[in-house]
Amino acid sequence: MNDRTHLTTWVTNEMKQRFSAVARHQGMSDSGLLKRLVEMMLQGASAANVGPVEVAERNARDSRVTVRIRPDDQLLLRERATARGMPAATYLSVLIRAHLRGLAPLPKAEWLALEKSVSELGRLARNINQIARAANRGDRIAAPGQDYVQMTLKICTALRDNTKALLQANLKSWQQGYEEPK
């Protein structure tokens, strides 16, 4: 098993050039010199009785992956993330998770549209339930006319079809990377 890892930092261009010059002067690569300096620092820390370092399990949010993509892909990434109302890194994270787990995530706007549809259906169901209870109690109710029943059925069918289309478009857009034009 390989127990090695990579250590990185950001420095100014001037610092990098000076560091490279020192490394060349000592006949080493930049990485070799950096490794030697880290080892020396850790030896000094050990001499100062620094206790053993426990490696804590990293929080999932702290797990990072760095990827290099082409500039034109970067533009597409920003466009698609913006279209979904997400930062590019979040979009990539969601996209990778969706791919790995076979999910089709819903962006917030689409989720809210579905919640509204479900809320409307709930309201409609409560109204129909009230009418049914009144009829079962033997209360005199003004029966909805055939036009009202047809309109309610049409609304329910449209909500079902729109919700189904939204879910299918969402799934397809995650697979293709963009929404289909309306």
* Distances from the Cα of 133 to the Cα of 138, 139, 156, angstroms: 9, 9, 21
* Distances from the Cα of 100 to the Cα of 11, 93, 173, angstroms: 35, 11, 16
Q: 45-94: per-residue pLDDT in tens?
A: 665 555 555 555 555 556 777 888 999 999 999 988 887 778 898 888 88
Do both 87 and 98 map to the same domain?
yes
Q: Which two tokens stand for residue 37?
A: 């300096």
Do both 112 and 181 map to the same domain?
yes
The predicted pLDDT at position 74 comes to 92
Do both 117 and 176 map to the same domain?
yes
Do both 112 and 149 map to the same domain?
yes
Distance (Å, rounded) from C-alpha 128 to C-alpha 133? 9
Do both 41 and 83 map to the same domain?
no
The predicted pLDDT at position 121 comes to 83
Residues of the chain scoring pLDDT < 50 = none
The predicted pLDDT at position 17 comes to 92
The structural domain count of the chain equals: 3
Query: Domain range spanning residue 42?
Result: 13-55
